[in-house]
Amino acid sequence: MALTYQVDDKGYYGEFGGAFIPEMLYPNVEELRTHYLDIIKDPSFQKEFHDLLRDFVGRPTPLFEAKRLSEKYQTQVYLKREDLCHTGAHKVNNTIGQILVAKKLGKNKIVAETGAGQHGVATATVCALMGLECIVYMGAIDIERQAPNVARMRMLGAQVVAAESGSKTLKDATNEAMRHWINHPVDTHYIIGSVVGPHPYPDMVARFQSVISEEIKAQLTEKVGRNYPDYVLACVGGGSNAAGAFYHYLDEARTQLVAAEAAGQGITSGHSAATTFLGKSGVLHGSKSLLMQTEDGQVIEPYSISAGLDYPGIGPMHAHLFKTGRAHFYDITDEEALASALELSQLEGIIPALESAHALAVLPKLQAKSTEIVVINLSGRGDKDLATYQQRLNLV
């Protein structure tokens, strides 16, 4: 059988994936699994989804030729401007899709987890748009370091609940959201924010984010006369923006898929979130994937300057892309990401999110040729990170 990078009918990407969930969640996840493809493929769903992406999110997002960056690195750099999406990041592509699914399933309440707060804001936004009740769990530490997004969620009418367990970051917010769903199984849909969780979530979220590479194909054709780049670069927390940017190139052998993981203070420092370098196969949040863990199978608290990359696992699709060698993974430190954020701001007039800055930081290491085309998925804008930039880049 030919190697495939798509999910199989058991919910696996190679050896990764599955649905490792307690029986309490089985009816909900099973309901979603049996209906999601029919719902998504329905023409009326597609129309509503794409109308909202156009009129509410502002899609298509531009593909911008970054001339000064290109000159500096002697290659042809294009930025996919997901930072220009309404709410400031790619996360909203997924929340629009999932809220429409939730409505079709007859759910009237939404629960979500959030790290940087971008997914929380994107969820609170679509809940306001559709008039559904919204609860967002957020690690107590993230609530502190992403204060503007907490305020935005509250202004949008969402209830933000602090996750006080464990490391008090994204992993624990995800635990709390799952516990909330266990306690409210009938009327609530859980909008997961990345390509993680039990099958069918990774596949469903990847499909909603795949609009990114769908647009890149058309935009590249128009700009350079071919629909594929030589490289696509994206950061990977759980991996949703990367999944979207890679999706239509998974079987395009001429395109190299490149993922940037957060190395934090360095992969050997003990303060890192670089899963493919530090993890091994394990089960967390409902799927088998690569996971940072102790020898005893306890999940290790990750660290990154970027709240959106501060997660001990990656989606099963990315674990498979790593394992098969289809995608190449780079580890990017806090310092490298900060330097790239400053560079993009001053060379191109775009302040990126800290997460996206990790993808930008691959550029100096890539050694792409001057004739090659490099698309960087700029997953979000830096407004939410200004306090960190101010402090770490001495902007006084």
Ligand X SMILES: Cc1ncc(COP(=O)(O)O)c(C=O)c1O
Active site residues: 91, 113, 379
AA letter at 178: M
Residue with tokens 């009327």: 187
Taking the C-alpha atoms of residue 118 and residue 125, their distance in angstroms, rounded to an integer, is 10
CB of 326 to ligand X, least distance (A): 17
Token readout for 157 is 């009418």
- C-alpha radius of gyration, the chain, whole number: 19
Taking the C-alpha atoms of residue 18 and residue 11, their distance in angstroms, rounded to an integer, is 5
Helix (H, G, I), strand (E, B) or coil at 218: helix
Judged by CB, which is closer to another protein: 18, or 244?
18
**String of contacts with ligand X for each residue 13-42, x by CB under 6 A:** ------------------------------
Among 95, 209, 293, 306, binds another protein (CB under 8 A): 293
Q: Which stretch binds ligand X (CB under 6 A): 140-148, 150-158, 232-240, 325-333?
A: 232-240
* Burial of residue 74 (number of CB atoms within 10 Å: 0-12, 13-18, 19+): exposed
**Under rule CB under 8 A, residue 191 binds another protein:** no
Name the binder of 340 from ligand X, another protein, none, CB < 5-8 A by kind: none
Taking the C-alpha atoms of residue 192 and residue 181, their distance in angstroms, rounded to an integer, is 11
**Under rule CB under 8 A, residue 158 binds another protein:** no
Name the binder of 241 from ligand X, another protein, none, CB < 5-8 A by kind: ligand X
AA letter at 194: S
Q: Which stretch binds ligand X (CB under 6 A): 57-65, 177-185, 273-281, 350-358?
A: 350-358
Among 135, 150, 173, 299, binds another protein (CB under 8 A): 299
**Under rule CB under 6 A, residue 238 binds ligand X:** yes
Q: Which stretch binds another protein (CB under 8 A): 42-50, 177-185, 342-350, 383-391?
A: 177-185
**Under rule CB under 8 A, residue 178 binds another protein:** yes
Q: Which stretch binds ligand X (CB under 6 A): 27-35, 111-119, 255-263, 331-339?
A: 111-119
Distances (CA, A) of 241 to 2, 27, 209: 26, 28, 7
Judged by CB, which is closer to another protein: 27, or 270?
27
Largest interatomic CA distance in the chain: 59
**Under rule CB under 8 A, residue 270 binds another protein:** no
**Under rule CB under 8 A, residue 189 binds another protein:** no
Token readout for 193 is 């924010």
Among 151, 222, 269, 297, binds another protein (CB under 8 A): 297
**Under rule CB under 6 A, residue 350 binds ligand X:** no
CB 270 within 8 A of CB 278: no
Among 353, 360, 362, 376, binds ligand X (CB under 6 A): 353
Distances (CA, A) of 142 to 75, 307, 387: 37, 7, 13
Q: Which stretch binds ligand X (CB under 6 A): 4-12, 179-187, 224-232, 349-357?
A: 349-357
**Under rule CB under 6 A, residue 275 binds ligand X:** no
Residue with tokens 């290491």: 365
Distances (CA, A) of 23 to 11, 27, 311, 342: 17, 8, 25, 48
**Under rule CB under 8 A, residue 175 binds another protein:** yes
62: left (phi over 0), alpha (psi -120 to 50) or beta: beta
**Under rule CB under 6 A, residue 355 binds ligand X:** yes
**Under rule CB under 8 A, residue 23 binds another protein:** yes
Residue with tokens 């050694």: 367
Pairing mode, if any, of strands 76-81 and 256-264? unpaired
Closest to 242 (Cα-Cα) out of 268, 279, 216: 216
Residue with tokens 């030589």: 230
**Under rule CB under 6 A, residue 59 binds ligand X:** no
Judged by CB, which is closer to another protein: 268, or 281?
281
CB 351 within 8 A of CB 344: yes
Residues in touch with ligand X (CB under 6 A): 89, 115-116, 118-119, 194, 235-242, 308-309, 353, 355-356, 379-380
Residues in touch with another protein (CB under 8 A): 18-24, 26-27, 165-166, 171, 175, 178-179, 182-186, 281-286, 291, 293, 295-299
